[in-house]
Amino acid sequence: MTLELRNVTKTVGADTHIHPTSLAFEKGGFNILLGATNAGKSTLIKLMAGLEKPTTGEVWADGQNVTGTSPQKRGIALVHQFFINYPHMTVFENIASPLRVQGLGRSEIETRVREAADVLQLGPMLDRRPQELSGGQQQRCALARAIVKQSKAIFLDEPLANLDYKLREELREQLPDILGERGTVIVYATSEPTEALLLGGHTALVHEGRITQFGRTPEIYHLPGDLTSARVFSDPPINLAPVTKRGEEMWMDETINWPVFGEAAALADGPYTVAIRPHHVTPTEPNDVSIAIRGPVQITELSGSESVAHFRIGGQTWVSLAPGVHPYRVGDYHEFHMIPGQCFYFGADGTLAAKGRAHG
Amino acid sequence: MAEIGLKNLRHSYLPSPAGPDDFALKEINLSWDDGGAYALLGPSGCGKTTLLNIISGLLTPSEGHILFDGQDVTALPPDKRNIAQVFQFPVIYDTMTVYDNLAFPLRNRGVAADRVDARVSEIAAMLELDDSLTTRAANLTPDAKQKISMGRGLVRDDVNVIMFDEPLTVIDPELKWKLRSKLKELHQKIAVTMIYVTHDQTEALTFADQVVVMQDGEIVQIGSPVELFERPQHTFVGHFIGSPGMNILPCEVTGDGAWFHGCHVPLEGPVKGTGQRTEIGVRPEFVRLADGGIPGLVRKAADIGRHTVVEVMVGDTPVGAIVDGPAPERGAEVHLTFDPHQTRLYTDGWIATERAAP
Amino acid sequence: MKTENQRGWLFVLPVLILVAFNALIPLMTVVNYSVQETFGNNQFFWAGLRWFEEILRSERFHAALGRQLLFTFTILIIEVPLGVAIALAMPRRGFWVPVCLVLMALPMLIPWNVVGSMWNIFTLPQIGLLGYFLNDVLGINYDMTQQPVSAWITVIVMDVWHWTSLVVLLAYAGLVSIPEAYYQAAKIDGASNWSVFRYIQLPKMKRVLTIAILLRFMDSFNIYTEPFTLTGGGPGNSTTLLSIDLVKIALGQFDLGPAAAMSLIYFAITLAVSWLFYTLMTRDDQ
């Protein structure tokens, strides 16, 4: 099974929701659409599922053009961010509903519903109605309905967004096993970068109706193709600052400079944007080669295992994230260490010009 | 600004509660200092919102007292308690401008116009709303609306406490960071007592100086983020705080220590209590992959950027580990060691080891 | 887009046919009558805009229109605030909610001509319960068959009794959709009851109230059955509203041409006022 968008666009009135987009998803593993709210993730899902028609372009499934095919005939399942179940039916009837539509026999339905319920730990709740279940169980019920019919593609549109933090973690943990090796294409929309990393697979970064980068999830995290992609795929937000390359060195704010090597050294002199993730700006000297930078601490946050400091540097607010507890005092100038080997340099047009290296 | 005391609070939504199960809140005793940042943390239905509404006066408790600076306010309605509250979904007065929204709580209390103007301008500047003061509030984005809700809480300088009920629910992750830092910054600036209710441990730990963890209407532990993280008093806290949560591993305890799957596990210090159920608690952050130790098989490994989250099966018990550097292959045989200073024993859910003398 | 599904039109077709039968064809007939003169025998003579001019200049029409506007204006002034007040006073949750809702809906379930007859019998001076009570117990000289003022009061009270419920139910629907957090926030902000009404309840009810006022305007402007069965337009012409007058011309005098012209003018006024009102009410919605 493959699912493909070929040069698809979507405009509504004067608004362009999706700019020309081509994308191919395969079965096995998660295909993640990562982007902020209103970036176009839901629209892409609706286009692939056939709930909306592209303004131009085509949707292909398994080598067939399905652009005009209705969603009912595409053999797909959709799980929404809100827990959508039939309120007047029991959990059993809810899970069985797609099979009844297919007209399967009673015993077959019984077996398959029990199977799906087992996978989602809903066995003891089959006789209850959705409103008697907790939020997590309601979403499991919706998931069971999606997997029971063995569809060709499953679309999950921020399925965990409305769950409690801990429930979200538990269900996310189980999702790969639940959806597992079913030979279906799994498309999963989320606005949380960490969620994408935990689920792995492939990720398409969505920003203002465009796919800015697509590839294996950890790979595109470690090598963003452009500034937008770097920003979309970073939580906490990636630190940015304008820099100027002069000879063998990068200059920031005319006071801080560091030598550059490799492809960064080969860049033409001129202005660039440096980007570095918060965990590569540390309060103590790291093992890697680092540059000391100083700035007044504005806000400090402690999350138990990690300390966060927001500080001013070169006219920007930067964030440092480090394991352990660090005694920051708000207002004090504090020394941080940034690792040039972990910097990205972006050109004026926003594309990645070079990735930093520690040594020559 | 005030010191807040809760004395023997109990609340039931039923008219005549019979057993303890009928109580949404079971015997709450607390005292909070003036000007602190506090969080109430727990899963849905743990009673945290009930407690918040009791403090704000939207709900009258079945039993017990609420004290502001030692004064009993249990019988006072919300507007007499001098408090502010920000709700889960932004509450804005649609027909008013942003300015009028912010001025509303002041005008209702008959504050003079020039004072209103000064406060509104100050708060609007802090929240970066000064450009949209004349816009009608109905036309703004959700995060701007939530900022207005916050602003209405912050605008009064005489409030005893400002309460936040899951205020970031409708906000995008990237803006969440911004608004949360903004809130933290505001607390550092104006030093009013703030209480923040959430199910999100990251929000609670990053915002508060002291976190109250609740489960089933009871307080399980009160502590600083570091205390909650390092020495959870109960396995629930260990599991609930941290992502992934603490490893809670069934073990056997004999005279000479704790045994997990036949391996001896050194603990942080002497065991002081006994119980039916004994478990080792160790956070994934303090589990190392080593050459020797407890043998296991790697079930999965996720590179989440700044480190790798590994799940290792020891027999049929999954153990989580957070690893820097290269991730092991799925199915690989590995050995685990636990940092003894961070390895605790729990009996019947409660901590049973004492910290060894340094 | 060759695969575009055209079947949707098939589903709309019955509605189109129905609308044609219901509205378009009768309307065309009326337009046809309004520009011709007929003396029966299916003989028609071209009359041009003569009927329109006559109607627009006729004092009889002016008087009926005046009465109609007075009636509609009065019932709106009474029913809308009263309906909102009742909706505000109704419980928002608990045992009494369904009871109140059913009680409120009852008057609307009664057929219109029954409402008229009911109030007629109820208010007749000698035999009606209310008529007897007012005259013989309280000593108020009340006779809606003889006194125009009594007749007017009766017609208005009857309409208020019959239709305030509609405003109540719509306003109530608007009220219950307001999240609890708004009331809680207002309490904490120290808002008075009036402020809560002015800044929370009224803005949230605005849309349904617009619909309520629009419906009540159109219905009361076209009202016929109830006042006709109650007073027959009397005493004299005092309660002869536009529709009653129209029926008198069309069926009483069989002047089909003028009646058709009057219908169209009537229709145009209703449409214009409704449009104007709707535009004004929704003007500042984005």
**Model pLDDT for residues A66-93, shown as the tens digit of each residue:** 988 888 888 888 998 888 888 888 999 9
Cα–chain-centroid distance for residue A172? 13
Residue A132 CB contacts under 8 Å (≥ 6 apart), including other chains: none
The answer to whether residue C274 sits within a structural domain is: yes
What's the pLDDT score for residue C1?
Answer: 39
> In the complex, which subunits touch A with 3 or more CB pairs below 8 angstroms?
B, C
- Residues in chain B within 8 Å Cβ distance of C197: none
Which residue segment(s) compose the domain that A254 sits in? Answer: 239-355
A29 and A140 in a single domain? The answer is: yes
A176 and A248 in a single domain? The answer is: no
B116 and B211 in a single domain? The answer is: yes
B155 → chain C, closest CA residue: C189
Cα Dmax for chain C:
81
B45 and B194 in a single domain? The answer is: yes
What CATH number should be reported for the domain holding residue B345? 2.40.50.140
- pLDDT interval class at C40 (50, 70, 90): low
B141 and B35 in a single domain? The answer is: yes
Residue A76 CB contacts under 8 Å (≥ 6 apart), including other chains: A49, A50, A151, A152, A153, A154, A155
CA C274 – CA C279 distance, rounded (Å)? 9
- Candidates A32, A165, A194: best to mutate against B (most CBs of B within 10 A) is A165
Would the CB atoms of B228 and A304 count as touching at under 8 Å?
yes
Average pLDDT over residues B12-25: 83
B52 and B112 in a single domain? The answer is: yes
B122 and B260 in a single domain? The answer is: no
- DSSP-assigned beta bridge partners for residue B303: B308
Planar angle of CA A214, A216, A218, nearest 5 degrees: 115
The answer to whether residue B20 sits within a structural domain is: yes
Q: Is the ipTM of this complex over 0.85?
A: no
A122 and A243 in a single domain? The answer is: no
A55 → chain C, closest CA residue: C1
**Model pLDDT for residues C144-193, shown as the tens digit of each residue:** 778 888 888 888 988 899 899 999 999 999 998 888 889 888 888 888 88
B185 and B210 in a single domain? The answer is: yes
- DSSP-assigned beta bridge partners for residue A252: A243, A256
C2 → chain A, closest CA residue: A68
* Facing B139 at nearest CB: one of C190, C203, C286: C286
Interchain CB contacts (distance < 8 Å): A and C: 7
Tell me the pairing of strands B37-41 and B193-198: parallel
Would the CB atoms of C4 and A68 count as touching at under 8 Å?
yes
Which residue from B125, B174, B244, B124 is spatially nearest to A319, judged by alpha carbons? Answer: B174
Domain boundary among A224, A256, A288: A224
Average pLDDT over residues B219-246: 92
Rounded to a whole number of angstroms, the distance between the first and last alpha carbons of chain B is: 40
- Contact call for residues A143 and A120 (beta carbons, < 8 A): yes
The answer to whether residue B358 sits within a structural domain is: no
B305 has a chain A CB within 8 A of its CB:
yes
Preceding peptide of A323 cis, ω within 30°: no
Residue B250 has pLDDT above 90, yes or no: yes
Can you say whether residue B123 is alpha, beta or left, with left for phi > 0 and alpha for psi between -120 and 50 degrees? Answer: alpha
- pLDDT interval class at C286 (50, 70, 90): very low
Tell me the residue type at A77: A
C111 has a chain B CB within 8 A of its CB:
no
Alpha helices in chain B (DSSP H): 48-56, 98-108, 113-126, 142-154, 173-190, 201-207, 225-230, 235-240
B315 and B187 in a single domain? The answer is: no
What CATH number should be reported for the domain holding residue A351? 2.40.50.140
The answer to whether residue C31 sits within a structural domain is: no
Show which of residues 225-264 on chain A sit within 8 Å of chain B, judged by CB atoms: 235-237
- DSSP-assigned beta bridge partners for residue B302: B309
CA atoms within 13 A on the CB side of A281: 28
CA C82 – CA C84 distance, rounded (Å)? 5
The answer to whether residue C145 sits within a structural domain is: yes
SS3 B111: coil
The answer to whether residue B323 sits within a structural domain is: yes
Which residue from A36, C178, A232 is spatially nearest to B143, judged by alpha carbons? Answer: A36
What CATH number should be reported for the domain holding residue B95? 3.40.50.300
What's the pLDDT score for residue B358?
Answer: 61
A65 → chain C, closest CA residue: C3
CA A265 – CA A248 distance, rounded (Å)? 6
Nearest-CA distance B112 → chain A (Å): 33
A79 and A190 in a single domain? The answer is: yes
Tell me the pairing of strands B161-165 and B83-86: parallel
Domain boundary among A192, A224, A256: A224
Which residue from A12, A2, A15, A20 is spatially nearest to A211, judged by alpha carbons? Answer: A20
The answer to whether residue A306 sits within a structural domain is: yes
The answer to whether residue B240 sits within a structural domain is: no
CA C153 – CA A54 distance, rounded (Å)? 62
Domain count for chain A, please give it: 2
B114 and B255 in a single domain? The answer is: no
Nearest-CA distance C84 → chain A (Å): 33
A132 and A209 in a single domain? The answer is: yes
**Model pLDDT for residues B140-156, shown as the tens digit of each residue:** 888 889 889 989 988 98
The answer to whether residue C40 sits within a structural domain is: no
C53 has a chain B CB within 8 A of its CB:
no
Average pLDDT over residues C74-89: 93
Which residue segment(s) compose the domain that C196 sits in? Answer: 55-281
Average pLDDT over residues B182-192: 83
B123 and B152 in a single domain? The answer is: yes
**Model pLDDT for residues B305-326, shown as the tens digit of each residue:** 888 999 999 999 999 999 987 7
Average pLDDT for chain C:
83
How many Cβ atoms sit within 10 Å of the Cβ of residue B71? 10
Residue A344 has pLDDT above 90, yes or no: yes
Show which of residues 31-90 on chain B sit within 8 Å of chain A, judged by CB atoms: 43-45
Average pLDDT over residues B82-103: 90
- pLDDT interval class at B214 (50, 70, 90): very high
The answer to whether residue A234 sits within a structural domain is: no
Which residue segment(s) compose the domain that B306 sits in? Answer: 245-351
Which residue from A3, A24, A20 is spatially nearest to A55, judged by alpha carbons? Answer: A20
What CATH number should be reported for the domain holding residue C272? 1.10.3720.10
The full 3-state SS of C31-45, as one line of letters, equals: HHHHCEEECCCCCEE
The answer to whether residue B60 sits within a structural domain is: yes
A188 and A328 in a single domain? The answer is: no
A198 has a chain B CB within 8 A of its CB:
yes
Domain count for chain C, please give it: 1
A168 and A29 in a single domain? The answer is: yes
Show which of residues 18-47 on chain C sit within 8 Å of chain B, judged by CB atoms: none
Preceding peptide of B244 cis, ω within 30°: yes
Residue A360 has pLDDT above 70, yes or no: no
Cα Rg, chain C, nearest whole Å = 24
Planar angle of CA C163, C164, C170, nearest 5 degrees: 100
| A355-359, C37-41, C123-127, C244-248: range with lowest mean pLDDT | C37-41
The answer to whether residue C43 sits within a structural domain is: no
B316 and B339 in a single domain? The answer is: yes
CA A268 – CA B257 distance, rounded (Å)? 64
- Contact call for residues A70 and A15 (beta carbons, < 8 A): no
* Residues in chain B whose Cβ is within 8 Å of chain C: 53, 56, 58, 77-79, 83-85, 87-89, 91, 93-96, 104-105, 108-109, 138-139, 149, 152
The answer to whether residue C221 sits within a structural domain is: yes
A131 and A264 in a single domain? The answer is: no
The answer to whether residue A220 sits within a structural domain is: yes
What's B161's DSSP letter? E
Cα Dmax for chain A:
76
- pLDDT interval class at C284 (50, 70, 90): low
Which residue from B203, B213, B211, B164 is spatially nearest to B181, judged by alpha carbons? Answer: B203
Residue C250 has pLDDT above 50, yes or no: yes
Domain boundary among B203, B230, B257: B230
What CATH number should be reported for the domain holding residue A69? 3.40.50.300
Domain count for chain B, please give it: 2
Cα–chain-centroid distance for residue B118? 34
B24 and B57 in a single domain? The answer is: yes
A192 and A286 in a single domain? The answer is: no
A41 and A175 in a single domain? The answer is: yes
A103 and A205 in a single domain? The answer is: yes
Domain boundary among B177, B198, B230: B230
CA A332 – CA A326 distance, rounded (Å)? 13
CA A20 – CA A171 distance, rounded (Å)? 34
CA C265 – CA B60 distance, rounded (Å)? 62
**Model pLDDT for residues A282-323, shown as the tens digit of each residue:** 999 888 889 999 999 988 888 778 888 999 998 899 999 998
A117 and A209 in a single domain? The answer is: yes
B201 has a chain A CB within 8 A of its CB:
yes
Interchain CB contacts (distance < 8 Å): B and C: 54
CA C143 – CA C124 distance, rounded (Å)? 7
**What are the two backbone dihedrals, phi and then psi, of residue C190, each rounded to the nearest 5 degrees?**
75, 25
B154 → chain C, closest CA residue: C189
Looking at per-residue pLDDT, the higher value among C65 and B170 belongs to C65
